[in-house]
Amino acid sequence: MSECWHILGAGAIGGLCSARLAAAGAEISLICRSESSLQQFAGNALILREQDGSESHWGPPNLRLELPSSTAPIERLLVATKAHQAVPALAAVSQRLTPDSDLLLLVNGMGVAEQIQQRWPGLHLYCGTTTEGAWRPTAGVIQHAGKGTTRIGRWQLGGPAPSWFSHWQNSALQASWEENIEHVLWQKLSINCVINPLSALHDCPNGGLLERPELRRQLPGLCREVERVSQAAGMPTPEEGVLALVESVIRNTARNISSMLQDRRAGQATEIDYINGYFCQQAEQLGIDVPLHRALLAKARSVLQATN
């Protein structure tokens, strides 16, 4: 296989996908935001550290670093930035897209796909979500922290997988093709809009939400609101109920620091607007009152913005 992927987002997930796709034989162009972020890659190579301590180095010819201002046309683009960075990052390379470009959006939360579709209506838009665990100890180094699955589908159109999906299947990313990616993204959002703001506000690993009685008490009400909005939106709800699903994710990720808490601790902007903001907006459009989520969003916005 020799196929090219451009990748926007040199963070943990963008870096992990770059290394995994390069290992599967794809040619990767990792787009760095600026000259100074490009310079941070020692020897122009990306280093992937596996959980067993082994390391692989990815540089030319398999993986090249470039700037948005480079002129090569982009045929296939993976956007793996923070949700709020996706549209500005895409704008910086939009002159390099062609009428046939495919774009795969792999960001947390929801709402970015709609923004992209509105601004670049001709793009072939795909969305995905991953449960791979990775973090970036320093620029240019990715630490793999846990194996997960990656689910991908065509945004709003469904249909069969394009030929490039084989790059993902041939990689170690355990990718599956989804006929209805909106349902998958909504289910992820249902989980994130409960776990992420509570853990970020109370500065605790996910497990703390079951261990601390004052936090555990909040779960049933929040999950009931998620269930009501999901039903009104025509989204499937898990058979076991949203509360049981959220509790099982909390147990399975008990030691995780949620992405929102990681952002808070790093003093970075969080994805609250694309997780809880999107959820409350959907509820409002559907005429469902969600007082617990509205209060949680207001609290999270005021507290988390202070650290942004």
In the complex, the smallest distance separating the C-beta of residue 213 from ligand KPL, rounded to whole angstroms, is 20
Indicate the residue among 230 and 256 with the shorter CB distance to ligand KPL: 256
Regarding 195 and contact with ligand KPL (CB under 6 A), the answer is yes
Q: Is 191 in the site for ligand KPL (CB under 6 A)?
A: yes
Name the phi and psi angles at 22, rounded to 5: -65, -40
Q: In the numeric block, which tokens belong to residue 224?
A: 């009931």
The one-character DSSP state at 107 is -
Q: What share of the chain is helix, strand, coil (3-state, %, to 5)?
A: 45, 20, 35
Q: Does 209 bind ligand KPL (CB under 6 A)?
A: no
Least distance in angstroms from the C-beta of 294 to ligand KPL: 21
Task: Name the active-site residue from 82, 147, 188, 299.
Answer: 188
Site for ligand KPL in 246-285 (CB under 6 A): 249, 253, 256, 258-259
Contact status: 206 vs ligand KPL (CB under 6 A): yes
For the question of residue 299 being annotated catalytic, the response is no
- Cα–Cα distance between 111 and 132 in angstroms, integer? 22
143 binds ligand KPL (CB under 6 A): no
Angle at 102 between CA 101 and CA 105, to 5 degrees: 135
Q: Which of the residues 87 through 116 are near ligand KPL (CB under 6 A)?
A: 108
Q: Which of 189, 133, 185 is nearest to 154 (CA)?
A: 185
Q: Are 46 and 12 in contact (CB under 8 A)?
A: no
Count the alpha carbons within 13 Å of 49 in the hemisphere toward its beta carbon: 14
CB contact set of 52 (below 8 Å; sequence gap of 6+): none
21 binds ligand KPL (CB under 6 A): no
Least distance (Å) from ligand KPL to the CB of residue 133? 8
First-to-last C-alpha distance (Å) of the chain: 42
13 lies in the site for ligand KPL, by CB under 6 A: no
Does position 196 interact with ligand KPL (CB under 6 A)? The reply is yes
Q: If binding is defined by CB under 6 A, does position 190 make contact with ligand KPL? A: no
Q: Is 268 strand, coil or helix?
A: coil
CB of 205 to ligand KPL, least distance (A): 9
Using only C-alpha atoms, the chain has a radius of gyration, in whole angstroms, of: 19
Interface pick for ligand KPL out of 18, 29, 187, 192 (rule CB under 6 A): 192
Active site residues: 188
| Chain residues in the site for ligand KPL (CB under 6 A) | 108, 191-192, 195-196, 206, 249, 253, 256, 258-259
